[in-house]
């Protein structure tokens, strides 16, 4: 989606004192290549059961070298988002309970399910190692110029969060292991990583110079074509279908402590599946999953709660001929400019 057509994602608590969007910048370099993929064929998959799988909006196959003019001491490896499926033979990575739910759904059907990636918003990346790694790198570079009391205040705020009581501290050399160990007795939850980003977004830490802009970091680790987003009251326009994965019944589950090498710092659990392609132009969620949105309207549900419900519920949909036609036609309509944006 081109800049100028749609607004910037909500990347942070912007005020008049923040770095303006126009100064957000990032330098990257390629790392691992991505497997080849083809356009998703909605027509060939009529009759398949689809499941909405919410994803953050990070990228994969490259590294972040510089953010807002600040070179990183250790480049951040990008290995997430919709392109993760193109790094190897795992369809996706997530929390253990999420992977269990996906496999349970696939086991209901002889031909499994199509997992349809639906992208979340500008702060969804906070859970990921991409934001955490970049934030820590910049904070540690700037720590010598910041009042030690500010750093200790940050540590106390993290420790006050449920699950963060044992947080070692921003400058502790063992913190990286604590955040990303494959040992569950050591590893802090992803919710702690997310909370760290939320705390660092406060004016206290931005104005101290510890991390000048969390928004710039979120922007940097976002896949470039997802840095802008359409807005709607119920978030039914979230980009959906950039990637689709075919997950068969009894698909092999993966984790680094058992049967699979470590493949993603953010998540330890995954599942095998085949890439089923992706759309050249992502479509709104409501085109792939109309029953969910129609039901919300019929029940009188508040539009503001629809996004979270879609991302935390088991949203499934049979791919009918009408849905397949709507998906197939959307790109043509978008390119012709008849959709109104």
From residue 9, alpha-carbon distances to 119, 208, 222, 238, 310 in Å are 12, 25, 10, 11, 19
Q: Retrieve residue 341's tokens.
A: 């944006």
State the Cα–Cα distance between residues 14 and 11, nearest whole angstrom: 8
State the Cα–Cα distance between residues 226 and 38, nearest whole angstrom: 19
Angle, nearest 10°, between helix axes 129-142 and 190-200? 50
List the one residue out of 76, 91, 189 whose CA is nearest residue 136: 76
pLDDT in tens, 311-338: 999 999 999 999 999 999 987 777 676 6
Give the pLDDT of residue 338. 62
**The model's pTM:** 0.91
Backbone region of residue 241 per phi and psi (left: phi > 0; alpha: psi in -120 to 50; beta: other values): left
Bridging pattern class, strands 49-55 and 113-119: parallel
Q: Which residue has the tokens 């499994």?
A: 112
What's the average model confidence in pLDDT over 224-252?
A: 89
pLDDT in tens, 184-198: 899 999 999 999 999
Give the pLDDT of residue 188. 94
């Amino acid at each position: 989606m081109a800049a100028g057509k749609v607004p910037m994602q909500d990347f942070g608590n912007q005020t008049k004192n923040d770095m303006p969007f126009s100064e957000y910048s990032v330098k990257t370099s390629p790392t691992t290549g991505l497997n080849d993929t083809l356009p998703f064929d909605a027509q060939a998959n009529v009759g398949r059961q689809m499941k909405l799988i919410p994803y953050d909006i990070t990228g994969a196959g490259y590294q972040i070298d510089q953010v807002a003019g600040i070179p990183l001491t250790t480049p951040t490896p990008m290995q997430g988002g919709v392109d993760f499926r193109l790094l190897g033979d795992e369809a996706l990575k997530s929390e253990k309970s999420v992977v269990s739910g996906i496999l349970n759904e696939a086991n209901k059907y002889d031909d499994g399910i199509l997992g349809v990636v639906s992208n979340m918003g500008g702060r969804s990346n906070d859970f990921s190692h991409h934001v955490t790694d970049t934030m820590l790198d910049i904070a540690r570079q700037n720590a010598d110029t910041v009042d030690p009391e500010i750093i200790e205040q940050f540590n106390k705020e993290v420790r006050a969060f449920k699950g963060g009581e044992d947080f070692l501290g921003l400058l502790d050399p063992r913190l990286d292991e604590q955040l990303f160990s494959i040992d569950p007795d050591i590893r802090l939850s992803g919710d702690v990583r997310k909370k760290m980003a939320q705390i660092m977004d406060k004016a206290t830490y931005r104005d101290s110079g510890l991390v000048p802009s969390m928004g710039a970091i979120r922007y940097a680790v976002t896949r470039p074509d997802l840095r802008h987003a359409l807005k709607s009251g119920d978030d039914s326009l979230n980009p959906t279908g950039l990637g689709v994965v075919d997950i068969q019944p009894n698909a092999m589950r993966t984790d680094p402590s058992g049967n699979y090498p470590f493949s993603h710092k953010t998540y330890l659990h995954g599942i095998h599946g085949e890439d089923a392609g992706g759309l050249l132009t992502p479509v709104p969620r409501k085109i792939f999953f109309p029953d969910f949105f129609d039901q919300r309207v019929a029940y009188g549900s508040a539009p503001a709660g629809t996004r979270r419900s879609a991302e935390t519920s088991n949203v499934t949909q049979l791919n009918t001929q009408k849905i397949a036609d709507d998906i197939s036609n959307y790109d043509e309509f978008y390119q012709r400019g008849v959709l109104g944006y």
